[in-house]
Amino acid sequence: MWLGPEEVLVANALWVTERANPFFVLQRRRGHGKGGGLTGLLVGTLDVVLDSSARVAPYRILHQTQDSQVYWTVACGSSRKEITKHWEWLESNLLQTLSIFDSEEDITTFVKGKIHGIIAEENKNLQPQGDEDPGKFKEAELKMRKQFGMPEGEKLVNYYSCSFWKGRVPRQGWLYLTVNHLCFYSFLLGKEVSLVVQWVDVTRLEKNATLLFPESIRVDTRDQELFFSMFLNIGETFKLMEQLANLAMRQLLDSEGFLEDKALPRPIRPHKNISALKRDLDARAKNECYRATFRLPKDERLDGHTGCTLWTPFNKLHIPGQMFISNNYICFASKEEDACRLIIPLREVTIVEKADSSSVLPSPLSISTKSKMTFLFANLKDRDFLVQRISDFLQKTPSRQLGGNAGGTKASVSDPAPESLPASQEAPEPPTSPSSPLRSPPSFSTQEVPTTSQGLLKVFQKNSPIEDLGAKGAKEKMKEESWSIHFFEYGRGMCMYRTAKTRELVLKGIPESLRGELWLLFSGAWNEMVTHPGYYAELVEKSMGKYSLATEEIERDLHRSMPEHPAFQNELGIAALRRVLTAYAFRNPTIGYCQAMNIVTSVLLLYGSEEEAFWLLVALCERMLPDYYNTRVVGALVDQGIFEELTRDILPRLSEKMQELGVISSISLSWFLTLFLSVMPFESAVVIVDCFFYEGIKVILQVALAVLDANMDQLLDCSDEGEAMTVLGRYLDNVVNKQSISPPIPHLHALLTSGDDPPAEVDIFDLLKVSYEKFSSLRADDIEQMRFKQRLKVIQSLEDTAKRSVVRAIPGDIGFSIEELEDLYMVFKAKHLASQYWGGSRSAAIHRDPSLPYLEQYRIDASQFRELFASLTPWACGSHTPVLAGRMFRLLDQNKDSLINFKEFVTGMSGMYHGDLTEKLKALYKLHLPPALIPEEAESALEATHYFTEDSPSEEALPQEQQEGSGNEDIQERRGAIH
């Protein structure tokens, strides 16, 4: 390629001159090609270690004049053919012209101008390549593809200089992280190391420090352990590796590969050293963290964040923290974890105002909402740009409910006295919240059913005054009063200030009258409900009368959902539960219905209307408990692994005993999947659900650890699993809620664990208090880190189970050993996955569907089979191989869907490898008949058959010796083809 002339001071240091004339020199890099010697080895090593090979092509052309000591690069090439073409052009087009000039300066100026002209002409003819990364990164990507034989479809995300430990020797080289692979290349003094690992094969990924490997990254597969160290930025490298491995696990889980996020804003000038994929991955990670922190819908995208302070009227302080802006929300999180958290939906905003800066309050920004709340931010960097972004998002915000001030939203400048702002503490009007009469009336035919407007508890409980309930009623009244004061001081609804005080109130128990409202707020379900009016009603209408496997399972489980509760002992509650579960299965067919969803949903229906219960279920299944409710309950197994790890770290004595008894796997699934609702009295478990909606999975893990800790002595004395399960079952049955104003509901589980000497009662609030005192060191980001590590183990374990199941499904007379079948399965699976990586236009049918039986999950098409046939089978023979492969594929594809599964593949392979001579001849014979032949081939074969039968003598007419000779020759010919 032609290069813009750059000055070269030393022309021959690492280069060998191959051609020269009075104006140009063609050089080859030492160490490239044969005969490099020790100097060549040193240059090759230097290029790899310093990554100059990503920038330095092995050939170049320099311009020079006789009296000048300065050289100018004008072209480079990756091959001798490419550089020779440039050299010949220069000799034929410039040499004669340059000899006319008298001044060497004029010669150089002319050469520079000519080369710049050629480059400009080439660039003009080039089509724009979208957001492709220029410069050093692009060159590194081309080098990666060439070095490791990757196709165009494999995108490089980033690359890093590091050392790979081979034995006790570190080998300095370059680590390339692509969308689907981890690659490493090193060349040191003639010794080459080249590694390629698929992310889907990674079973363990962790950052650790040992005496042998200082601050290294460990990457395990089923076959090897790899250690990489000496990174300039090990944190960034490990984070990116985690993201890519996570994407690969997601692909194994539901076939979703990595796609560039087209909704993200593209930079005006692409970074030379950062790929668009790296930028997308970083943005995705920030988006996921943002959505998880503030419980926002899955499609919410973070636009940016900035440091600021927030005036908190409840304690009259300016709290430092971060403001986050996205397309539908303004959020704030304090630096101190529990100090304050705030969520302001843009649909609630009426006014955004800038105030004049002062030394006390620099760059203030005031945001007012429909509920008459005003939020004052200050110390904002680039406030004008921020206000413009908020204004842009406000313009795009859909017309907000209650009309009102939607048209009056503005971004204006005013100058309120900062001292006057705390006056916003005056009693605000009730803000838009779940208790506000905003719901659009349901449109489905059952709109007159009570559950469309209120929870089942309100329908089935007699409305006796709280005062008649004695001490319990007084306690409930006190709770309601506490929350009323809290709403007055901190706001009510989505824009409430969430502080440590809020958590304290939740831990003391949410009053029955507010439970549904606060669940909707804390889970974020309220946001989705108000932005999707009528969605649930449409789903109910669409799903009515539709039958599927999910609806069958729902019908089977309806009467097992809290059968002890009066709300589900009649058709009203059962029908409401049926509608919610069926609507969700219709919304999310990848989950459909999973056991335990019925128990959780029945509790949601007690405290909210059908629509509210539906959106709470969406929040639960899709955000708060990811991957819990699918056919393989992967999410619950992941959190079970976390629970085991925490038990090992925090309760080491008990952990060993629990592993010995095999109890943890039995208990944790039922505890986590149903949020303790199936193992604890209802009125106690619902308090844990209160905390769960506020704190997330952290609470479930804390309570589980507290239960084990409370029963440690008894569990250590247990001799088998049954005894341990009985100890835990009896303990949980006796966790009571003495403050509950609901009539006690008999707990069916208690009937199985009752005994002559029941254990002492445990108050649920005491249990929660202990769980927070002893185990509250758990942090949300730590749990996410542990989830990643466990997800690798769980999904790879499930993949191993799938492999064993598939191998067991192969008949015993197939001829291959178990080990051979497992190896063939891995090759077959890798070919399927490669089609998903780089398949492009290939049939969408080859994508894996985890809901299918194991044998049908991985399938390949004809082109993939042709590649395996050529590399694995003994019948591959030159130019005839593609024809034979195509015929064999059509023969194996019995259902004619243009795909074959592993069993069909192994059947074909077995016939070629393990069949006797007769079977091989039969297989060859079948390859010359339909369905192996395509219609055109079949027609030609038929014509040939007619020709031979009509024009040649019959076999009976031939002499006996000729018949025998013909047969023997045919057999010999076919035997040669086979072997």
| pLDDT, tens digit (0-9, with 9 covering 90-100), for 835-874 | 777 655 444 445 566 667 777 778 888 888 888 888 888 8
The predicted pLDDT at position 584 comes to 94
Handedness of CA 634, 636, 642, 645 (dihedral sign): negative
Q: Average pLDDT of 44-59? A: 55
State how far the Cα of 389 lies from the Cα of 369, in Å rounded to an integer: 18
768 pLDDT exceeds 70?
A: yes
Confidence of residue 229 (pLDDT cuts 50, 70, 90): confident
| Helix locations, 858-959, DSSP H | 862-872, 881-892, 902-914, 917-926, 935-951
Q: Which tokens belong to 270? A: 């692409």
Residues near 264 by Cβ (< 8 Å), separated by ≥ 6? 279, 280, 283, 301
Other Cβ atoms closer than 10 A to 443? 12
DSSP type of residue 58: S
Whole-number average pLDDT of the chain: 80
Residues near 894 by Cβ (< 8 Å), separated by ≥ 6? 904
State how far the Cα of 814 lies from the Cα of 812, in Å rounded to an integer: 6
The predicted pLDDT at position 892 comes to 86
Asked if 234 and 241 count as a contact pair (C-beta separation under 8 A), the reply is no
The predicted pLDDT at position 11 comes to 62
**Which of the residue ranges 165-179, 463-477, 897-911 would you say has the lowest mean pLDDT?**
463-477
The predicted pLDDT at position 950 comes to 52
320-346 confidence digits (pLDDT tens): 999 999 999 999 999 988 889 999 999
Asked if 175 and 160 count as a contact pair (C-beta separation under 8 A), the reply is yes
Confidence of residue 668 (pLDDT cuts 50, 70, 90): confident
Asked if 108 and 72 count as a contact pair (C-beta separation under 8 A), the reply is yes
Handedness of CA 370, 696, 532, 436 (dihedral sign): negative
pLDDT cut 90: percent of the chain above it: 33
Comparing 742 with 393, the larger pLDDT belongs to 393
Q: Average pLDDT of 485-506? A: 94
904-940 confidence digits (pLDDT tens): 888 888 888 887 888 888 888 887 777 777 776 666 6
Q: Average pLDDT of 66-71? A: 76
Handedness of CA 84, 88, 94, 96 (dihedral sign): positive
468 pLDDT exceeds 70?
A: no
Task: Return the beta strands (E) in 21-70 as ranges.
Answer: 24-29, 59-63
Q: Which tokens belong to 281? A: 């991955």
Closest by Cα among 954, 796, 807 to 203? 796
The predicted pLDDT at position 518 comes to 96
The predicted pLDDT at position 405 comes to 37
State how far the Cα of 522 lies from the Cα of 432, in Å rounded to an integer: 15
Burial of 814 (0-12, 13-18, 19+ CB in 10 A): middle
DSSP type of residue 212: S
pTM score of the predicted model: 0.79
Other Cβ atoms closer than 10 A to 484? 13
Alpha-carbon separation of residue 423 from 197, 211, 459 (angstroms): 62, 61, 41
State how far the Cα of 306 lies from the Cα of 316, in Å rounded to an integer: 22
Q: What are phi and psi of 919, to 5 degrees?
A: -65, -40
**CB-based burial, 373-400: b 16+ in 10 Å, e otherwise:** bbbbbbbbeebeebbebbeebbeebeeb
502 pLDDT exceeds 50?
A: yes
Q: Average pLDDT of 564-568? A: 85
DSSP type of residue 621: I
400-423 confidence digits (pLDDT tens): 443 333 333 344 434 443 333 333
Comparing 697 with 120, the larger pLDDT belongs to 697
619 pLDDT exceeds 80?
A: yes
Closest by Cα among 437, 445, 444, 623 to 522? 623
**Which of the residue ranges 208-217, 259-268, 306-315, 621-630 would you say has the lowest mean pLDDT?**
259-268
**Which of the residue ranges 63-72, 583-592, 734-743, 913-922 would you say has the lowest mean pLDDT?**
63-72
**Which of the residue ranges 301-305, 308-312, 465-469, 857-861 would you say has the lowest mean pLDDT?**
465-469
The predicted pLDDT at position 402 comes to 38
The predicted pLDDT at position 135 comes to 59
The predicted pLDDT at position 146 comes to 85
Q: Average pLDDT of 99-118? A: 85
Q: Average pLDDT of 586-607? A: 90
Asked if 479 and 509 count as a contact pair (C-beta separation under 8 A), the reply is yes
Closest by Cα among 149, 180, 145, 163 to 54? 145
Confidence of residue 590 (pLDDT cuts 50, 70, 90): confident
Comparing 98 with 527, the larger pLDDT belongs to 527
State how far the Cα of 610 lies from the Cα of 452, in Å rounded to an integer: 5
Alpha-carbon separation of residue 955 from 604, 941, 949, 958 (angstroms): 83, 19, 10, 5
Alpha-carbon separation of residue 899 from 63, 861, 865, 905 (angstroms): 58, 5, 9, 10
476 pLDDT exceeds 60?
A: yes
Closest by Cα among 524, 855, 528 to 694? 524
137 pLDDT exceeds 70?
A: yes
Q: Average pLDDT of 126-142? A: 59
Can you say how many angstroms the Cα of residue 548 is from the centroid of all Cα atoms in its chain? 28
State how far the Cα of 44 lies from the Cα of 31, in Å rounded to an integer: 6
348-386 confidence digits (pLDDT tens): 999 999 888 888 889 899 999 998 899 999 999 889 999
Q: Average pLDDT of 765-782? A: 90
The predicted pLDDT at position 752 comes to 47
Comparing 742 with 462, the larger pLDDT belongs to 742
The predicted pLDDT at position 641 comes to 92
The predicted pLDDT at position 425 comes to 35
State how far the Cα of 73 lies from the Cα of 4, in Å rounded to an integer: 8
Strands laid side by side in the 71-77 sheet:
2-8, 71-77, 59-63, 24-29, 15-20
Per the listing, tokens 């989830």 go with 787
| Helix locations, 334-490, DSSP H | 383-396, 456-460, 470-490
Q: Average pLDDT of 767-791? A: 90
State how far the Cα of 334 lies from the Cα of 340, in Å rounded to an integer: 5
